[in-house]
């Protein structure tokens, strides 16, 4: 049975939580994209431009237009062949691209990754995310992050710390570092081992039914499906769950303030 509970639409919230057999978690693990932060004005060409401008050696005189086209073609080829539960590391991809083109950059691979990501999108916070993290810290509820991400764990932590400097995340796991991507349960199991907790003591919050709800449920972790609004017009992530249905219990929320109230009432 699928149970979707919107707190602000449910006067019988305590009864609903009892029905779901929910108990106050010791830890809440978050997805990254469209859950904590999002990527407004996403533009890979802009990221390519930043790297192209840092080329130190280009013996074949490859133009920016050709460079950008080949990078996109190789990225699409990688995505098509890697499989939905396998991740590629950005460092591997950048080495492959530039060695293939015979290009040498003037910056390190880590700096190239950082520049490329911020070129693609500078990033932005989801509404009220600071409030929910502060509340959880006050409640003594531990936090962590699991993200399906081509970018490195180091780049993920830097981005989280830049936008959420007061976060208390005990870990931030990027699938690029662990080969397997959600909904594969590998990263969830690794997170539980790092936390020293059992699955029934943890909730997982994310915006994707396919990756987050299914993945958490398969690992025995209680899923929270977050469907928050952003300031971006025609936000492409709003449609990721269209037509999807899952046969497991989960909590549905649209506002982190509602989530705070749910925890308070437990």
* Distance (Å, whole) CA 236 – CA 213: 19
pLDDT of residue 83: 85
pLDDT of residue 242: 80
Instruction: Give the structural domain span for 258.
Output: 7-40+124-264
pLDDT of residue 21: 55
Residues 113 and 173 in one domain: no
Task: Identify the segments of the chain with pLDDT beneath 70.
Answer: 1-21, 233-234, 236-237
Residues 96 and 207 in one domain: no
Does a structural domain hold residue 80? yes
- Domain end marker among 87, 120, 153: 120
pLDDT of residue 20: 52
Does a structural domain hold residue 2? no
Residue 217: left (phi > 0), alpha (psi -120 to 50), or beta?
alpha
- Domain end marker among 86, 120, 154: 120
Residues 36 and 49 in one domain: no
Does a structural domain hold residue 63? yes
* Distance (Å, whole) CA 261 – CA 234: 29
Any residues with CB less than 8 A from the CB of 148 and at least 6 apart, and which? 31, 33, 87, 175, 181, 182, 211
Q: For residue 229, what is the DSSP state?
A: -
Residues 139 and 255 in one domain: yes
pLDDT of residue 222: 97
Residues 49 and 154 in one domain: no
Does a structural domain hold residue 260? yes
pTM of the model: 0.89
- Domain end marker among 74, 92, 120: 120
Going 175 to 179 to 184 to 189, the CA torsion angle's sign is negative
As for how many domains the chain has, the answer is 2
């Amino acid at each position: 049975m699928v149970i979707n509970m919107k707190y602000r639409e449910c006067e019988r919230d305590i009864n609903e939580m009892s029905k779901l057999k929910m108990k106050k978690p010791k830890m809440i693990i978050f997805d990254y994209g469209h859950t904590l932060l999002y990527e407004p004005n996403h533009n890979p060409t802009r990221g390519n431009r930043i790297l192209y401008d840092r080329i130190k050696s280009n013996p074949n005189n490859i133009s920016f237009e050709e460079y950008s086209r080949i990078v996109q073609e190789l990225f699409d080829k990688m995505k098509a062949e890697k499989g939905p539960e396998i991740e590629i590391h950005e460092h591997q991809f950048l080495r492959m691209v530039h060695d293939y083109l015979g290009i040498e950059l003037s910056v390190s691979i880590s700096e190239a990754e950082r520049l490329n990501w911020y070129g693609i999108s500078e990033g932005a916070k989801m509404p009220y995310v600071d409030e929910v993290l502060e509340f959880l810290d006050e409640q003594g509820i531990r936090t962590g992050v699991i993200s399906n991400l081509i970018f490195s764990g180091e780049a993920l932590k830097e981005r989280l710390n830049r936008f959420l400097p007061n976060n208390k995340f005990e870990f931030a796991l990027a699938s690029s570092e662990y080969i397997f991507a959600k909904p594969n349960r590998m990263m969830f199991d690794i997170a539980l081992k790092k936390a020293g907790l059992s699955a029934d003591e943890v909730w997982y919050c994310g915006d994707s039914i396919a990756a987050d709800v299914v993945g958490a449920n398969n690992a025995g972790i209680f899923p929270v499906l977050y469907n928050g609004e952003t300031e971006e017009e025609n936000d492409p992530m709003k449609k990721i769950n269209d037509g999807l249905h899952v046969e497991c219990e989960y909590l549905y929320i649209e506002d982190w303030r509602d989530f705070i109230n749910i925890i308070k009432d437990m």
